[in-house]
Amino acid sequence: METVSKYFGCEVFNDTVMKNSLPPEAYNLMQRTIKNGKHLEIGLANVVANAMKDWAIEKGATHFTHWFQPMTGITAEKHDSFISPVSGGKVIMEFSGKELIQGEPDASSFPSGGLRATFEARGYTAWDATSYAFIKDNTLCIPTAFCSYGGHALDKKTPLLRSMQALSRQALRVVKLFGNEDVNFVDTTVGAEQEYFLIDRSVFDKRKDLIYTGRTLFGAKPPKGQEMDDHYFGAIKPRVLSFMKELDEELWKLGILAKTEHNEVAPAQHELAPIFTTTNIAADHNQLTMELMQKIAKKHDMVCLLHEKPFAGVNGSGKHNNWSISTDTGKNLLNPGDTPAQNAQFLLFLCAVIKAVDDYQDLLRISVASAGNDHRLGANEAPPAIVSMFLGTELSEILEAIENDVAYGKKEKELMRIGVHTLPKFPKDSTDRNRTSPFAFTGNKFEFRMLGSSASISDANVMINTSVAEVLKQFADQLENSPDFEKDLHDLIKKTISEHKRIIFNGNGYDDKWVEEAEKRGLMNLRSTPDCIPYLLAPKNVKLFSDHKVYSIEELKAQCDIQLEVYSKVINIEALTLLNMVNKDILPAVSGFVRELSAAYNQKKQTGLSLDLSYEEDMIKELSSLSGELYNQKSKLEKEMEKRESFEDMNEKAVFFRDVILAGMNEIRRTVDSMEDKTRSSAWPYPTYGAILFSVK
Q: Which residues bind to Mg ion, rule: CB under 5 A?
A: 193, 320
Q: Select the binding partner of residue 276 from ligand ADP, Mg ion, none (C-beta < 5 to 8 A, by kind).
A: ligand ADP
Q: Is 451 in the site for ligand ADP (CB under 6 A)?
A: no
Site string for ligand ADP, 331-370 (x = CB under 6 A): -x--------------------------------------
Q: Is 278 in the site for ligand ADP (CB under 6 A)?
A: no
Q: Is 541 in the site for ligand ADP (CB under 6 A)?
A: no
Question: Under 8 Å CB-to-CB from 253, ≥6 apart: which residues?
Answer: 7, 8, 9, 10, 11
Q: How far is CA 368 from CA 362, 450, 454, 457, 548, in A?
A: 10, 6, 10, 9, 21
Q: How far is CA 156 from CA 74, 114, 362, 611, in A?
A: 9, 16, 19, 69
Site string for ligand ADP, 73-112 (x = CB under 6 A): ----------------------------------------
Using the rule CB under 6 A, which residue among 168, 324, 528, 568 binds ligand ADP?
324
**What is the smallest separation between the CB atom of 285 and ligand ADP, expressed in angstroms?**
11
Do the beta carbons of residue 693 and residue 265 sit within 8 Å?
A: no
Cα 354 from chain centroid? 22
Q: How far apart are the first and last CA of the chain?
A: 27
Q: How many CB atoms lie within 10 A of CB 36?
A: 10
Helix 24-36 × helix 42-58 angle, to 10°: 110
Comparing CB distances to Mg ion, the nearer of 264 and 459 is 264
Using the rule CB under 6 A, which residue among 170, 322, 456, 466 binds ligand ADP?
322
Q: Is 454 in the site for ligand ADP (CB under 6 A)?
A: no
**What is the smallest separation between the CB atom of 183 and ligand ADP, expressed in angstroms?**
16
Cα 178 from chain centroid? 34
DSSP secondary structure letters along 639-692: HHHGGGGG--SHHHHHHHIIIIIIHHHHHHHHHHHHHHHHS-GGGSSS--HHHH
Using the rule CB under 6 A, which residue among 50, 158, 442, 671 binds ligand ADP?
442
641 secondary structure, DSSP code: H
By CB under 6 A, which span of 78-86, 183-191, 309-317, 486-494 interacts with ligand ADP? 183-191
64 secondary structure, DSSP code: E
Q: Is 466 in the site for ligand ADP (CB under 6 A)?
A: no
**What is the smallest separation between the CB atom of 194 and ligand ADP, expressed in angstroms?**
10
By CB under 6 A, which span of 108-116, 321-329, 507-515, 633-641 interacts with ligand ADP? 321-329
Closest CA to 135 of 217, 65, 226: 65
Alpha helices, DSSP H, located in 388-484: 393-404, 458-479
Q: Select the binding partner of residue 553 from ligand ADP, Mg ion, none (C-beta < 5 to 8 A, by kind).
A: none
Q: Is 283 in the site for ligand ADP (CB under 6 A)?
A: no
Q: Is 445 in the site for ligand ADP (CB under 6 A)?
A: yes
By CB under 6 A, which span of 62-70, 196-204, 319-327, 550-558 interacts with ligand ADP? 319-327
Distance CA 371, CA 573 (A): 12
**What is the smallest separation between the CB atom of 462 and ligand ADP, expressed in angstroms?**
16
Comparing CB distances to Mg ion, the nearer of 436 and 627 is 436
Backbone torsions φ then ψ of 107, nearest 5 degrees:
-100, 10
Distance CA 106, CA 122 (A): 5
Residue of this chain nearest to ligand ADP (CB atom)? 191
Distance CA 324, CA 336 (A): 12
Comparing CB distances to ligand ADP, the nearer of 187 and 561 is 187
Q: Is 255 in the site for ligand ADP (CB under 6 A)?
A: no
Report the interface residues with ligand ADP, using CB under 6 A: 189-191, 193, 273-276, 322-324, 332, 442, 444-445
